[in-house]
Chain A
């Protein structure tokens, strides 16, 4: 068991290393000189060279890479020349917004996926099943940014039910005192019901937009797993004990179907926490995604490198956690056969 864990950790380390290397090299391969971009088109050659020195661009590549990697662990994530703040400051300022959005998108996707999958498989009425399958296909095929715009058009512009692309809160609502950095949780903790409601309203559309594709994916997976499990022998055995159809389904089929879905769900969570770019653009959400895209366009190395490294770490960590979780939940993995 420890051998497997160590093996996985090593693999994780290699993946992170590889991703960071890729990011590092890419930014270096880009034509154009970031130092020049920063000092502006009218700068003298000396100014450019000075800037290069300041940014450490004149050092050999491997030195730069080492500073990059060691910097991550020591907290020095570099300087974002496009905004004039440290990378750490920028990321920390923006990360909670993306995380909160990703969190709610995931919760929405997961809960509704369970609900719809249960409905699709329990009664086995062909129309319902076909409708849910169709919905999941459309969900996977809808470009999220387009959907966001459409939803804004319908629900905010035309029907006025929900707020427009104002960001996390309306213009007249100040953010709650910071505890978790999630506006919803913080508002609840501080007892500010108005702020809580406001935050929720602003979260609805972007969370649905972001969560639609994961929902579609999870529904298909869970439905397929539920169907497979409900045909297993032990379900018939449970029924022969006098257990009703619904109880047999929920108590026995669902837990078994969960296991293979868990891995996929975990990966989705990792993706959601870091991949909110497009939705943030549409809804003016002050998150990381927007910032990273702009940094790419502006060739602000440090930001992109750091973000990639952090994402890779997050992805790999979540993968590991899911593996471990699987091992804990599935008794077949947890307890070896004692003979």
Chain B
């Protein structure tokens, strides 16, 4: 059927673009030291996240006798108030942050992107309604919205993820809508239309491959925001719940010990956050330089 063929064609286009851009990206990597550093650090954390919990101690073993121990060879990041190994919790936390970030960003991009594309491509009352909803979400203080969702659905990682995803939707929607509108008015679209192509065909064949890279860049830029917001929710007690070792919750644990000398409980998770978010921001920035330097992307 024609649509299937078109979809396949769109897929091929995207694949070709990604390959071309990846080749360029790799050559850029070789020359750009800050980018390489960012990739290296991020890669290290991914390794820790994936393999850490498998080969290191468990994150939940309580051992009151060894609580509040300073960093040592046995416990590279020390132990917390009930004797749990902070390094193990750090690795688990990395796993949590990275996966939640990925989910938020993927789901947000897909849903928000679709809303934006539909809005831009259809126009009319649907466009107005969708965009007004997005505006309402934007006017809502984002942290409060995430908190409200969290509380509403019962505190925990799932509700936190949902809440954060919700707050990120408008950014994708608005960006993609304006992209679609811009591309729609380009001469080559008019030409295709004049040649008799149907709207769906135009959409799939011409518009989608381009907006894929736009989505990617915005998603990368919002990844850091997702992780930081998750940590913020954990900090106020709404995200992951104890004993889940999410970095934000760990910082809250370490709160009272900060000023009494056991700094390691709170400092390491914060460092983890800093590294991950900074690295992904640098990556997102470079991706933007390579793929679409003129674009207006939201960094939250």
B255 and chain A: residue at smallest CB distance? A149
B190 within 8 A of A: no
- Complex CA distance for A102 and B131, rounded to whole angstroms: 29
Beta-carbon contacts under 8 Å, B214-267 to A: 224, 228, 231-232, 235-238, 248, 251, 255, 258-259, 263, 266-267
Please count the residue pairs between chain A and chain B whose beta carbons lie under 8 angstroms apart in the complex.
Answer: 147
A140 within 8 A of B: yes
A225 within 8 A of B: no
Provide the residues of chain A in CB contact with B136, threshold 8 Å. Answer: 14-15, 17-19, 21-22, 312
- Complex CA distance for A271 and B34, rounded to whole angstroms: 30
- With contact pairs A141-B281, A153-B263, A277-B236 given, residues A146 and B141 touching in the complex (Cβ less than 8 Å): no
B266 and chain A: residue at smallest CB distance? A149
Q: Which of B56-64, B98-106, B145-153, B198-206 contacts A (4 or more CB under 8 A)?
A: B145-153
Contact A140 B149 (CB under 8 A): no
Against B, the Cβ 8 Å flags (1 = close, 0 = not) of A24-48 are 0011011100000000000000000
Provide the residues of chain A in CB contact with B139, threshold 8 Å. Answer: 15-16, 18-19, 311-312, 315-316
**Cross-chain contact of B270 among A138, A143, A293, A296 (Cβ < 8 A):** A143
B150 → chain A closest CB, angstroms: 8
Provide the residues of chain A in CB contact with B231, threshold 8 Å. Answer: 143
Beta-carbon contacts under 8 Å, A132-185 to B: 133-134, 137-138, 140-143, 145-147, 149-150, 152-153, 157, 164
- Complex CA distance for A22 and B140, rounded to whole angstroms: 8
Provide the residues of chain A in CB contact with B282, threshold 8 Å. Answer: 137
B133 and chain A: residue at smallest CB distance? A18
Contact A141 B274 (CB under 8 A): yes
B67 within 8 A of A: no
B98 → chain A closest CB, angstroms: 14
Provide the residues of chain B in CB contact with A146, threshold 8 Å. Answer: 251, 266-267, 269-270, 273-274
**Cross-chain contact of A141 among B34, B224, B266 (Cβ < 8 A):** B224
A121 within 8 A of B: no
Beta-carbon contacts under 8 Å, B266-286 to A: 266-267, 269-270, 273-279, 281-282, 285
Contact A138 B278 (CB under 8 A): yes
B54 within 8 A of A: no
Instruction: Please tell me the number of chain B residues within 8 Å of chain A, measured between CB atoms.
Output: 49
B12 within 8 A of A: no
Provide the residues of chain A in CB contact with B228, threshold 8 Å. Answer: 141, 143
**Cross-chain contact of B235 among A17, A145, A217, A274 (Cβ < 8 A):** A145
A131 → chain B closest CB, angstroms: 11
- Complex CA distance for A15 and B144, rounded to whole angstroms: 16
- With contact pairs A11-B135, A141-B274, A141-B278 given, residues A152 and B147 touching in the complex (Cβ less than 8 Å): no
Provide the residues of chain A in CB contact with B138, threshold 8 Å. Answer: 15, 315
**Cross-chain contact of B143 among A31, A130, A277 (Cβ < 8 A):** A277
- Complex CA distance for A22 and B270, rounded to whole angstroms: 32
A281 → chain B closest CB, angstroms: 7
B212 within 8 A of A: no
B99 → chain A closest CB, angstroms: 18
Contact B140 A312 (CB under 8 A): yes
B43 → chain A closest CB, angstroms: 17
- With contact pairs A18-B135, A18-B136, A296-B148 given, residues A140 and B281 touching in the complex (Cβ less than 8 Å): yes
A307 within 8 A of B: yes
- With contact pairs A140-B224, A281-B236 given, residues A304 and B281 touching in the complex (Cβ less than 8 Å): no
B212 → chain A closest CB, angstroms: 24
Provide the residues of chain B in CB contact with A164, threshold 8 Å. Answer: 259
Provide the residues of chain B in CB contact with A217, threshold 8 Å. Answer: 299
Top 4 nearest A-B pairs by Cβ distance?
A18-B136, A146-B270, A141-B278, A141-B277
User: Would you list 24 pairs from A and B whose C-beta atoms are within 8 A, ordered by A residue?
Assistant: A14-B135, A18-B133, A19-B139, A19-B140, A23-B140, A27-B148, A140-B299, A141-B277, A142-B274, A142-B278, A145-B251, A146-B251, A146-B270, A149-B258, A152-B259, A153-B259, A275-B141, A296-B238, A297-B236, A299-B151, A311-B141, A312-B140, A315-B139, A316-B139
